Structure 1
Amino acid sequence: MKLELGNFYVKDAVFGDETAFKDGILTINKEEALKVAMEDENITEADIVIAKPGDNIRIVPVKEAIEPRFRVSGGPVFPGVTGELLQDGNGKTYALKNSNVLVVGKKWGGFQDGLIDMSGEGAKYTLFSELINICLVADTNEDFEKREQQKKNKALRWAGMRLSEYLGKTVSKLVPEDVECFELHPLTKRTEKEKSLPGVVFVMQPQSQMEEMGYNDLVYGWDANHMLPTFMHPNEVLDGAIISGSFMPCSSKWSTYDFQNYPMIKRLYEEHGKTINFIGVIMSNLNVALEQKERAALFVAQMAKSLGAEAAVVAEEGYGNPDADFIACIVALEDAGVKTIGLTNECTGRDGASQPLVTLDQKANAIVSCGNVSEFIMLPPMETVIGDLEALGRDGLSGGWANDEVLGPSVREDGSIIMENNAMFCGDRVAGWSTKTMVEY
């Protein structure tokens, strides 16, 4: 499979009479764009606000992030979700780089929603402060979700995907500034040099532990809870085959933007044919029952060994219950003779002294930590808030609270904030974006 990703670099985004892209400027007809977003009758009110790097802006509750794209060969950007089911990862797709559609709640948040600051101390915690964000700020008539801790946010998330496809069409007839090419030949048809290098698989564990449908990541529109470990081409991940779910605590989430630009996949591609033979992706799952976790781990190990893998990288979305799947998978791979590195964040408590993962094993001896979800973050007030600042101050949004008996409210009267890292939107960058470092004292 060969994927050509044509890139157009957005230098600025403004509102205007026509939605178009020219000379690095993305112009948006707000009225027309809102009609696209509000095609779902469940959306009762919506607005579009542009937030740029350096702006004195705080955005919360953020529910989803999506890179605007256009599929040159036709069909939806997200097969099985926003349109017909088709094979992706092969052909040409155009992307509006440096830009992003953010889905933001206008009134309510849930524990899987998070915060982004576009400048100041908070900006360093999340990749999305570096992008030009087209914020779809909306509310729905889904009253059953308003005070729920766990929300599906389907109407809002799907509206964000429609908006991203609408913006992606602006470059449909243009020539990209550069083209990234991602190609892996079938295992049996690789060069002798490639075959002589150590075989490496990337094992992804997307959010899939919710037995009720609607909360998990989607694979070609299929709820990942239904899935057994599956071999996938890495191009499928980069080209829209996977959509972020709504369940996972926010700093641990993989947004759809993360899947579209997955850094670990790109890094393995860079080494393919040089230091490694990048075999591909084993898309695993997260489970609830111990037997399910063990079964999935055995499937992953058998698949990796059968494919000829000598080494693996395992990345989990989330923490807590998923830690058991994560460690079980690493142990099963090591038992099969596959040297394995794990990529995760940790939950060591506010004092940093607790056990980092729910379960541990001596064979999991090469773990890359992306930070502590419980780490305290204190942020000054911002001039402008997009969304609903009080969403962070309600019990339910992971990382924020109404009133702590020691710390008081998460949102102070002056608009300043004390929160846990948990509430930073995709803040731990477990997909491979992380800029955090480990320091020994």
Structure 2
Amino acid sequence: MKLKIGNFEVKKVCLGEKNAFESGTLTIDKQATLAYLKECDDHITDLDIVIANPGDDTRIVPVLETIEPRCRVDGRTLFPGVTDAVVPAGEGELKALKGCCVTVVGKEWGSFGDGVIDMGGEGAKHTYWSKLINICLVGDTDEDFERHEQQKCNHALRWAGHRLAEYIGNVVKSQAAESFEEYEFEPVANRAAKKNGLPNVVLVMQPQSQMEALGYNDLWYGWDMNKYLPTFVSPTEVLDGAIISGSFMPASSKWSTYEMQNFATIKELFAEDGKSLNFMGVIMSMLNVALDQKERAAVMVANMAKNLGADYAIVTEEGYGNPDADYVRCQIILEDAGIPVVGISNECTGRDGFSQPLVTLDAKMTALVSSGNVSELIELPACKTVIGNMEAMNRDGMSGSWGYDEKLGKSARDDGSIIMEDNNWFCGDHISGFSVKTMIEY
């Protein structure tokens, strides 16, 4: 399967009276765009588009989702089973607007899985999103049944974000790209001779799927991954919109749809394919709750890896806590099968850094990459501009923030300053491989 992505570098985004891309400037017809999105979903009651630029003294909260604007040259939907009918993904040609993202923001209400983005100051150092021009889709809906629930599907707003990303992406559909990325995944049984003798490496992805109530989990071709079983897939499918992010999981531990579209670990494996390794593809697993579900998934992953002839595996989870059991068990069963593993995840070592990093551990796990401590405390001054609603940090059960603490007070203070855990940065630990963090040796 061969995927070609034609890239356009966006240097400036303006709101105007037409949709256009010229000389690095993306212009969005705000009124026409909002009218289109409201027409797509009558649950949307209020909607606005606000631009936030790198370096702006701006705080965005609550952030629900980020998506890269793209379009498919052949006219097929960008997100199969979501923005339109289920169609094949993973091959063909895309156009992508780089340097920007659609950022979905709650105007009033936040959720457990929503987070914070700071575009400037000290807070900008904590997240990849501060490097991008954020096309903020700020809205509210009539989904009143979710108002006072800590877990929210936020369906109308999140899917409006996916529609907006495709709508904007279509601006460059007929234009010649400035640069190209090409990813070719050869059939496993028909590999080029130059790969013979190279170590066979497989990537195991464990997307979020814990919620048995449907509508909160990641979707694979529009299919709720709580009802999914481990499957061998082409890595180009991941990069091509076959999977989108759900609303569940503490914010810093999530993979947003943007991260799926640009999954850094997949891109690095492609870069080394045929050089230092033979990239055998992705085993797409899941993260369910019951012990038999966890064991079933681990067994199936190990059997697929063995049948693929994997010499090594990388295992990465979306989340922490309960998913750690799946993450660890998957690594152990692969190690027992003679397939050495590198694990990638964040950790929960407490505010002092001295707690056990994962819910469960095993001596066989000898190669772990940490992308951050979700419990680390961060205190930041007020920003000049707020996009969204700061009160969501105090009121709506967002992970990493709170309404009252006898020592620390509330997370969003009256003077606009904040105190929160790393947990509350939106996709802040970037477990997909984007991490802006480094390790310090003592």
The bucket for the TM-score relative to the shorter chain is over 0.9
The percentage of counterpart residues that share the same residue type is 62
> Which position in structure 1 is the counterpart of 2:7?
7
> Which position in structure 2 is the counterpart of 1:75?
76
Structure 2 counterpart SS, 1:393: helix
Aligned-pair distance for 1:37?
2.1
Aligned-pair distance for 1:194?
0.7
Instruction: Give, in whole Å, the separation in 1 of the partners of 2:425 and 2:192.
Output: 44
Aligned-pair distance for 1:80?
1.1
Asked if 1 retains the 8 angstrom alpha-carbon contact of 2:347 and 2:373, the reply is yes
Deviation by residue 1:182-225 (Cα, 9 ceiling, x = unmatched) = 00211121122213100000000000111110010000000011
> Which position in structure 2 is the counterpart of 1:287?
288
Instruction: Give, in whole Å, the separation in 1 of the partners of 2:9 and 2:85.
Output: 28
> Which position in structure 2 is the counterpart of 1:275?
276
Instruction: Give, in whole Å, the separation in 2 of the partners of 1:435 and 1:28.
Output: 30
State TM-score, norm by structure 1: 0.99
Aligned-pair distance for 1:180?
0.6
Instruction: Give, in whole Å, the separation in 1 of the partners of 2:69 and 2:214.
Output: 26
Deviation by residue 1:363-404 (Cα, 9 ceiling, x = unmatched) = 111110011101001111000000001111225111111110
> Which position in structure 2 is the counterpart of 1:373?
374
Deviation by residue 1:352-372 (Cα, 9 ceiling, x = unmatched) = 111110011111111100111
Counterpart check, 1:56 vs 2:57 = yes
Instruction: Give, in whole Å, the separation in 2 of the partners of 1:160 and 1:256.
Output: 10
Unpaired runs of at least 5, structure 1: none
> Which position in structure 1 is the counterpart of 2:112?
111
Asked if 1 retains the 8 angstrom alpha-carbon contact of 2:16 and 2:30, the reply is yes
Asked if 1 retains the 8 angstrom alpha-carbon contact of 2:148 and 2:396, the reply is no
> Which position in structure 2 is the counterpart of 1:356?
357
Instruction: Give, in whole Å, the separation in 2 of the partners of 1:288 and 1:311.
Output: 27
Asked if 1 retains the 8 angstrom alpha-carbon contact of 2:127 and 2:436, the reply is no
Q: 1:67 to 1:395 in 2, by over 3 A?
A: closer
Counterpart check, 1:298 vs 2:326 = no
Asked if 2 retains the 8 angstrom alpha-carbon contact of 1:70 and 1:168, the reply is yes
> Which position in structure 2 is the counterpart of 1:36?
36
Asked if 2 retains the 8 angstrom alpha-carbon contact of 1:36 and 1:159, the reply is no
> Which position in structure 2 is the counterpart of 1:219?
220
Instruction: Give, in whole Å, the separation in 2 of the partners of 1:18 and 1:395.
Output: 37
User: Aligned residue pairs: how many?
Assistant: 441
Q: What does residue range 208-247 of structure 1 map to in structure 2 within 5 Å?
A: 208-247=209-248
> Which position in structure 1 is the counterpart of 2:133?
132
Asked if 2 retains the 8 angstrom alpha-carbon contact of 1:370 and 1:434, the reply is yes
Q: What does residue range 20-419 of structure 1 map to in structure 2 within 5 Å?
A: 20-39=20-39, 40-394=41-395, 396-419=397-420
Instruction: Give, in whole Å, the separation in 2 of the partners of 1:194 and 1:5.
Output: 24
Instruction: Give, in whole Å, the separation in 2 of the partners of 1:62 and 1:305.
Output: 40
Asked if 2 retains the 8 angstrom alpha-carbon contact of 1:394 and 1:400, the reply is no
Deviation by residue 1:96-117 (Cα, 9 ceiling, x = unmatched) = 0001100000001011000000
Unpaired runs of at least 5, structure 2: none
AA partner of residue 12 (structure 2): D
AA partner of residue 10 (structure 1): V
State TM-score, norm by structure 2: 0.99
More deviation, 324-333/410-419: 410-419
Instruction: Give, in whole Å, the separation in 2 of the partners of 1:161 and 1:434.
Output: 24
Instruction: Give, in whole Å, the separation in 1 of the partners of 2:16 and 2:290.
Output: 53
Aligned-pair distance for 1:349?
1.2
* Backbone CA RMSD of aligned residues: 0.8
> Which position in structure 2 is the counterpart of 1:422?
423
